[in-house]
Amino acid sequence: MNFLKKWQLLTVLLLPCVFIFAQNDAEFTATTMEAQEVVVSGMGSIINGDVAHARDDAISDALRRSVETALGTLVESETLVKNYQLIEDRIYSKSKGYVQGYEIVHEEQRNEMLYEVTLKATVKMADLKSDLDGIATLIRRKNTPRMMVMIDERNIGDVEGSMNYIDADLNIAETALMDLFMQKGFKFVDQSIIKQNLDNAKAAAILEGDVAQAASLARTVGADVILAGKAMAKATVVEVYGTTQRSQQASLTARAIRSDTGDIIATGSAEGAYPHIDDVVGGKKAIEKACGKLSDQLLEKILTRWQEDVTTGTTLTLKVQGISGYSQLSKLKVSLPHYVRGLESVTQRDWSGGFATLEVTMKGNSDDLAQSLSDKVIEGIAVTVVGMSQNSVTIKLANSQ
């Protein structure tokens, strides 16, 4: 048998194997993308007789379990398809589960300490940013955060300076970003309220990238997240098939900042171009195109961060006042996991005199943390909750009598 005939025979023998491998890959992709319905139960602790809050905790617990259950089922089924080869890492890297929607099928107060909820959830392993139902569910689970946007826009012919920003109405970039995010279900603070709380110095600082000033302004106007950045458009002359043509180019950068902690949760940059005989009109169109690209980047990163918060646990800031000494602070840090349900870690960020800042990672939100600590006596330390925001809780310590 000559070489050509051998090669033809080998090709015939291998083709079914190639088809099987390709089919398995297609099955993997289809399985990871389709929705799954799971029925799970969750528990909530009844603290100080607050049954309503325990019910909310039970629902959150069940929703976290629903994603874990769906992902676990996917791991098991795909392992069987792949001839018992271990592929959990591949699935986890390619799949991000989220709850598209759910309904409660049963709930009851088990005893004086526990409330149980059983629900049927629809879990998807796909791209969350294109699923309006999934985004709406996630926003509700994050207690409907409010957004604000502040973009330093310099279009062709514009006058520079913070005074121009304060006096002007909504600019193109702010309008475009707000519209694109609102189409996905996000809520925004009225821009007129923002402008009322601005002066030249603060506007200049924020527009130059001062994160602390941006977070401070957002807190003042009641926003949980601020999108702050810069947009710039300029005109160029390009040659197309031997003829010259004016084109307007825009560049846009922005950061999403948590107002209560100043943490940057997303960053992005994008460019856009639009040919027009009028530089100002073309510049506006170019900025709009850049905003379309940038909004996709920021949206994906913000939703990913929020999904991680509600599924695997969020990082909250615990501000502590009235500390009598470092030994009291150490005792509090060691004891917190025994008093706060779902708390996974405690990290001390700073301590000075009677004040300290702790970061806690837990499955829950700031309301859960506040409920767990409100009017508690922890190892002889009386705790009073004196403040709370979307991602932080402030407590005051005193020796118990």
Residues in the chain, overall count: 401
The tens-digit pLDDT sequence of the chain (401 residues) is 555 555 454 454 444 444 433 444 433 333 444 678 889 998 888 877 888 888 888 888 888 888 878 776 554 444 444 444 444 444 333 345 778 888 999 999 988 889 999 999 888 877 777 788 888 888 888 888 999 999 988 888 665 555 455 555 568 999 999 999 999 999 999 888 888 888 878 888 888 889 999 999 998 999 999 999 999 998 887 676 777 778 889 999 999 999 988 889 999 999 999 988 888 888 899 999 999 999 999 999 999 888 888 777 788 899 999 999 888 999 999 888 888 877 888 999 899 888 999 999 887 788 888 888 888 888 888 999 999 887 889 999 987 66
CA distances 314 to 59, 142, 162, 317, 366, Å, are: 17, 10, 36, 10, 9
146-309 is classed in which CATH architecture?
3-Layer(aba) Sandwich (3.40)
* Topology of the domain covering 313-399: Alpha-Beta Plaits (3.30.70)
pTM, full prediction? 0.69
pLDDT value of residue 356: 93
CA distance 114 to 45: 5
- Which residues lie across from 350 on neighbouring strands? 357
CA distance 298 to 264: 11
Count of C-beta atoms within a 10 Å radius of residue 110:
12
For the chain, the maximum distance between any two Cα atoms, rounded to a whole number of angstroms, is 98
The CATH number of the domain covering residues in 3-126: 3.30.1660.40
pLDDT value of residue 170: 61
pLDDT value of residue 5: 53
pLDDT value of residue 37: 87
For the chain, domain boundaries = 3-126, 146-309, 313-399
